[in-house]
């Protein structure tokens, strides 16, 4: 969708997001989402502005169903912030660009502390006996 921001998929997700030493900000989108097209210029602008401190990436939810389900993405656009490979914040929908920018700035400041206090998600646990 954007020439400057890497497109992620099932094969590069783990290396790009979960094992990245830098904070990572992902926009989950779909090709048919009009709100995604509305938000893309702002996402690109913030990638350029904060690109030295935060890694930005895109994930098409239609092509990576497993990742979409793993991280509970039910609608697009969804923006998720990862620190230490853990999701530490998200925002859903065509939000005011200032909210998106504020989230990035807050996560740059506090995301690593949040990640350290988070517990790993055990995806093998189910509610069924």
Q: Which residues are the active-site residues? A: 33, 36
Distance CA 78, CA 80 (A): 6
The 3 state secondary structure assigned to the chain is CCCCCCEECCCCHHHHHHCCCCCEEEEEECCCCHHHHHHHHHHHHHHHHHCCCCEEEEEECCCCHHHHHHCCCCCCCEEEEEECCEEEEEEECCCCHHHHHHHHHHHHHHHHHHHHHCCCCCCCCCCCC
Beta-sheet pairing, 7-8 with 24-29: unpaired
């Amino acid at each position: 969708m954007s020439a400057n921001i890497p497109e992620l998929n099932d094969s590069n997700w783990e290396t790009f997001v979960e094992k990245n030493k830098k904070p990572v900000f992902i926009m989950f989108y779909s090709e048919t989402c009009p709100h995604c097209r509305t938000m893309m210029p702002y996402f690109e602008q913030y990638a350029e502005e904060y690109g030295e401190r935060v890694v930005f990436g895109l994930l098409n939810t239609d092509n990576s169903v497993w990742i979409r389900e793993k991280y509970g993405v039910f609608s697009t656009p969804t923006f998720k912030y990862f620190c230490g490979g853990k999701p530490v914040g998200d925002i859903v929908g065509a939000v005011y660009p200032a909210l998106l920018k504020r989230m990035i700035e807050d996560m740059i400041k506090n995301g690593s502390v949040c990640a350290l206090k988070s517990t790993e998600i055990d995806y093998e646990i189910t509610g069924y006996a």
